[in-house]
Chains A and B, each alone.
Chain A
Amino acid sequence: MPSVSVKAKKTVRSKRKPKAKPMTKLEMVQKMLADQKFIREAIQNGVTFQELQDKYGYKFATI
Chain B
Amino acid sequence: MVTSLQPYKTIIHNPFYYSFVTTSGVEYFCYFTPYKEYFPNYPTEVASKFYAFNLDLADKKAKQKGVDKRIADTVITIVGDFLNKKINAVVYICDPSDGKAKARFRKFKSWFDYYEHPSYQIIQITSDFEAGGMKLYTALLIHRKNKLKKELVEAYLNLTD
A45 → chain B closest CB, angstroms: 9
| Residue A11 CB within 8 A of the other chain | no
Interface contacts (Cβ under 8 Å), in number, total 80
Interface string of A21-48 (1 = CB under 8 A from B): 0110110111011011101110110000
Contact A36 B131 (CB under 8 A): no
Size of A's binding interface in residues, CB under 8 A? 26
A33 touches B93 (CB 8 A): yes
Closest to B14 in A: A63
Given A39-B56, A40-B56, 8 further pairs, Cβ under 8 A? A32-B52, A37-B95, A39-B33, A43-B29, A44-B57, A59-B34, A61-B31, A61-B82
**Which A residues lie at the B interface, using CB under 8 A?**
22-23, 25-26, 28-30, 32-33, 35-37, 39-41, 43-44, 49-50, 53, 58-63
